[in-house]
Amino acid sequence: AGNGLLQGQRVLVTAGGTVERIDPVRYITNDSSGKMGYAIAEEAVRMGASVTLVTGPTALPAPEGVEIIPVQSALDMREAVMSRMNTSQLIIKAAAVADYRPAVVAEQKMKKKADSLTLELVKNPDILQEIGTLKKDQFVIGFAAETERLDEHALEKLKRKNCDLIVGNDVSQEGAGFSGDTNAVRIFDRNGLVEALPLQSKKDVARRLLELAAGRMKTT
């Protein structure tokens, strides 16, 4: 049985990697399996929240009791998230959003021609940063996937994107980050390190993160 720490709260979670089309049969994506975000959605339901999960393509079954909004690209994810932001009290962005997308999406399968091919990419909007700019009473949690200088980079992202908490994820550490069932993270607020969670299941990371959020959210 879960606790009621998030009873009556609306929680918006993002998970998985975005898919950025090149042509009808090719795309750019990343290693996110969706497991971290899905674990957060599941644990939030157990804590009594009403949960919406905006998710890139994953191989995971839909968690019970969660409203699922499947998306493909960063632009799709942005639309799905921004249109739900005002009705959410807690927003958690575990998705691995592509920073760039192909400048043009070819309508037909691209033909093999020259010996080299240059693909032009353009920047995607930063969804978390937009939320940070527009947020009112929402409690916003970002993630930061890093391979070096975790603390410094995570804190810089927290400030730039105006999050309440950021989950620093050293994805070069064995057993942490993309794809597996475990993670190890360092959680920060504006003042610095709040808590370091050693290697444990993504489910346990999700639960602790939600407990921290529940304790810090304005209760209305």
The rounded distance, in Å, linking the Cα atoms of 91 and 135 is 10
Note whether 156 binds ligand PMT by CB under 6 A: no
The rounded distance, in Å, linking the Cα atoms of 189 and 195 is 10
The rounded distance, in Å, linking the Cα atoms of 36 and 197 is 14
Q: Is the Cβ–Cβ distance between 34 and 55 less than 8 Å?
A: yes
The rounded distance, in Å, linking the Cα atoms of 177 and 65 is 26
* Cβ count near 189 (within 10 Å): 16
Residue 126 assigned to a binding site = yes
Least distance to ligand PMT from the beta carbon of 112, Å?
31
Note whether 169 binds ligand PMT by CB under 6 A: yes
**Of the residues 11, 40, 44, 128, which one makes contact with ligand PMT according to CB under 6 A:** 128
Note whether 13 binds ligand PMT by CB under 6 A: no
Q: Which is nearer to ligand PMT, 126 or 204 (CB)?
A: 126
| DSSP structural state of residue 83 | T
Give the β-pairing of 165-170 and 182-189.
antiparallel
Q: Is the Cβ–Cβ distance between 189 and 171 less than 8 Å?
A: no
The rounded distance, in Å, linking the Cα atoms of 133 and 220 is 22
Q: Which is nearer to ligand PMT, 105 or 110 (CB)?
A: 105
**Of the residues 53, 124, 170, 186, which one makes contact with ligand PMT according to CB under 6 A:** 124
Site track for ligand PMT across 182-211, x = CB under 6 A: ------------------------------
Note whether 36 binds ligand PMT by CB under 6 A: yes
Site for ligand PMT in 55-114 (CB under 6 A): 74, 93-97, 99
Count of residues near ligand PMT by CB under 6 A: 26
Cα distances from 165 to residues 117, 152, 171, 201, in angstroms, run 41, 14, 18, 20
The rounded distance, in Å, linking the Cα atoms of 150 and 128 is 18
User: Does the annotation count 191 as an active-site position?
Assistant: no
Residue among 102, 151, 113, 157 at smallest CA distance from 132: 157
**Of the residues 5, 54, 144, 212, which one makes contact with ligand PMT according to CB under 6 A:** 144
Q: Which is nearer to ligand PMT, 99 or 152 (CB)?
A: 99
Q: Which is nearer to ligand PMT, 67 or 99 (CB)?
A: 99
User: Binding site, residues?
Assistant: 99, 109, 125-128, 143, 157, 161
Catalytic residues: 30
Residues near ligand PMT (CB under 6 A) are 32-36, 74, 93-97, 99, 124, 126-128, 142-145, 157, 169, 171, 177-179
